[in-house]
Amino acid sequence: MAAVAPTHPLAGRKAVSLQELAEFPFVLTEGSSGVRQQIDRTFNRHAINPNVFCVTNSITLVKALVSLDRKCALLPRFAVDYEVNAGTVSIVPVKEFMKEPLLFCVCELNSRSLSPAAKAFVEAVIDFCQRFGH
The pTM assigned to this predicted structure is: 0.75
Give the residue with greater pLDDT, 130 vs 49.
49
2-98: CATH architecture: 3-Layer(aba) Sandwich (3.40)
Alpha-carbon distance of 92 to 87, in angstroms, equals: 14
Chain segment 64-82, per-residue pLDDT in tens: 999 998 999 999 888 899 9
Determine contact, residues 11/4, Cβ cutoff 8 Å: yes
Q: Where are the domains of the chain?
A: 2-98, 104-134
Alpha-carbon distance of 26 to 18, in angstroms, equals: 11
The DSSP 8-state label assigned to residue 16 in this structure reads: B
Is the pLDDT reported for residue 23 higher than 80?
Answer: yes
Give the residue with greater pLDDT, 19 vs 111.
19
Determine contact, residues 4/90, Cβ cutoff 8 Å: yes
Instruction: Look at residue 43 and give its three-state secondary structure.
Output: helix
The DSSP 8-state label assigned to residue 56 in this structure reads: E
Is the pLDDT reported for residue 52 higher than 80?
Answer: yes
Strands 26-29 and 52-56: parallel
